[in-house]
Chain A
Amino acid sequence: MVVKVKSLVKRYKELIALEHFDMEVEEGEILGLLGPNGCGKTTAINCILSLLSFDKGEIEIFGKKMTPNSYDIKKQIGVVPQEVSVFENLTVRENIDYFCGLYVGNKAIRKEYVEEAIDFVGLKEYTKFYPKKLSGGLKRRLNIACGIVHKPKLIFLDEPTVAVDAQSRNFILDGIKKLNQEGSTIIYTTHYLEEAEMLCKRIIIMDNGKNLVSGTNEELKAMITTTEKIVVGFSSIEDKEIQKIKNIPHVIDIEKREDDYIIKFENGLNNLSNLLEFIKENNLTYTKLYSQLPTLNDVFLELTGKELRD
């Protein structure tokens, strides 16, 4: 076990930021901490890293208790904070070299690592630039380079793709996969469910400081009753016909979203053909119709009654 967090409690006066939060991270996995903004993801990370004090709980990293003086543990950790955390008056290369030097004493190795990190984040053309001259996406890449340059065994990435363009986002996500393939264990916090689905082997869904559920993508989706969603755009439909849809086998709910209807099904076969048959029988016409598998948003919705992005 690389990281073990047991019953972590963190309070800000009256507000409970973390309520008996548990987390276990296996070596070599990418663990996603998924939850809406303000749910406690960053607080959990900051407590684990001993930046924040906490009221109760136990934290172990690499089998040792994590404390602010655990310099031997800190040497093996890389952190990419949510905010771009670099020196404004040092160039890209100087920033990467400075942070690398806090971990790697040997000058030759450091030079090699810095070059690799620059290549890794695609900042070769910008090495002499100051951060303020970089776009938001490039700054994020620099932020990542400073966190991973020393080749840590364990990497914390706290919402690294917030406010970046699509190109940089894909670049960052591909890079994270590569880091994992090279052997790093990764803890990845995000409120983008697509990222969590795409990247993470296991996901912990958080809300209001609590660890709601954890498991693989498939395990989480298997926990909810919705197994299929069919989105239909009817040319016209009356309320009585909508009520009738609820009688189609396995339909558990129907909701209107903008001009479309989303029909949710629980386990069962032939959901799409059953719906098409209903449409034909009732002489309804449609502009679009497609089937979707449930997403993590559906898991979150079913667990909390609200959308992940609410």
Chain B
Amino acid sequence: MKSIFRNCMYQGKNLYRDKSFLFWTLIYPIIMAIFFYTAFNGMINIQLENIDIGISSENPIAFILEEIEIVKVHKILEDEINEKLENEEIQGFVDNDLNLLVKKSGVNQTIIKEILDQIKQMGSLNVPMEKFDFTVNYISKTNQKADVVIIIFYSLIAMVSAYGIFPGIVTVILIQANLTNVGKRINITPLRKNEFLLAGIIVSLILNLLSNGLLLIFIKYILKINLFTEIKYSTVFIIMGNLFGVALGMFIGASNKQNENTKTIIGIMITLVLSALSGMMSPNIKIELDKSIPVLGRINPIAIITNNLYRINLLGSTKSVSEGIIVLSIYCVALISISYVFLRRKTYDSI
């Protein structure tokens, strides 16, 4: 126990003084947050006025749209559509398949489109429409972002929670005699590998969670975006994301003989691809994937975290929490076990 504590202390010092670790886990996520905030700032700061939407009276989403404060719903007949669009009495017409008919493009039309995409996504994620508390959660009550930006931020948080990958890689390469000189030295001391690895996992989790915390503080207090309404489950998913990151880092570190830089690049690529698929680069990718390959959202760890943060905090739904935690736990156990098998060997053929 004492040995693990000492290892935590020194591995922690070694890690938080590592400039590349600080960049990827602390600076880079803040840069990304600023970038997304700036890129979508125009959209975020749109003065939301009443948007006139035409809809047929039997359309099942009529009641949802009516709940949205900025939307004024006009129930019209099909033969009135063209006329009302021409006269600009309505900015768009929503048919029963949730397609949007417009005469010209503009901010209001974009907002209607985003709202419809959101509703479609909810449908594809099997979230009951009655739980779709669109107005209360993110338009009028919090007076903030459109949903598209929120997805990006949840995806960003999911990605950086997985940045435990970097300390995971460092921990593993430091114990391998064929990869680092320190590894050589440690392997000839009486220190047991599993003590070093356990200390590495603990330190990686603590440091990455701290950097996640700083990012969340930055988003909440500097960018003034309130992402979390449900702290308990959100924390669980962020911790699971961290554990997944550390486990993936250990796996990348243990499974090949590449140097630290190459392993780091592999880690960055994996997290970027998984994050892009979960909607970080463009929420439309996520919406399309959720429609065409729904299973991807259920196995992509970053998407699992993104979706759950979204559902928990915006929709108040905890339906998929258990499934998400189970899938992430399976990933963590599998990755750590495989890594341990790789690391278990005691002697090397060459160093």
Contacts and interface: CB of A to CB of B under 8 A. Distances in A.
Interface residues of B, number: 27
Interface string A50-84: 11110000000000000111011011010101011
Given A89-B17, A94-B10, A52 B184 contact: no
Interface in B168-209: 177, 181-182, 184-192
Given A53-B347, A87-B10, A94-B10, A102 B184 contact: no
B184 A90 contact: no
A139 to B, nearest CB: 11
Contacts of A102: 3, 186, 189-191
A52 B347 contact: yes
Nearest to A110: B6
A69 B182 contact: no
Contact of A71 (B17, B182, B190, B350): B190
B347 A68 contact: yes
B181 A74 contact: no
B216 to A, nearest CB: 26
Contact of A51 (B18, B184, B192): B184
Contacts of B349: 12, 52-53
Interface in B1-46: 2-3, 6, 10, 13-15, 17-18
Contact of B14 (A46, A75, A89, A147): A89
B346 interface: yes
A81 B184 contact: yes
B182 A51 contact: no
Contacts of B177: 51
B186 to A, nearest CB: 8
* Residue of B13, B15, B347, B351 with most chain A CB atoms under a 10 A cut-off: B347
B347 A50 contact: yes
Nearest to B346: A68
A264 to B, nearest CB: 41
Contacts of B184: 51, 81, 83, 85
A90 B189 CA distance: 18
A98 interface: yes
Interface in A243-257: none
Contacts of A234: none
Contacts of B347: 50-53, 68
Nearest to A79: B188
Contacts of A98: 6, 10
Contacts, number: 80
Contacts of B13: 89-90, 94
B181 A51 contact: no
Given A69-B346, A90-B14, A102-B191, A81 B185 contact: yes
A146 B190 contact: no
A103 B190 contact: yes
B190 A51 contact: no
A296 to B, nearest CB: 28
Contacts of B351: 46, 51-52
A50 B10 contact: no
B348 to A, nearest CB: 6
A31 to B, nearest CB: 18
Contacts of B3: 101-102
B185 A99 contact: yes
Interface in B294-351: 346-351
A279 interface: no
A105 B13 CA distance: 20
A49 interface: yes
A173 interface: no
Nearest to B349: A53
Nearest to B18: A89
Q: Which 8 A-B pairs have the closest CB atoms?
A: A68-B346, A85-B181, A89-B17, A85-B185, A53-B347, A71-B190, A102-B189, A83-B181
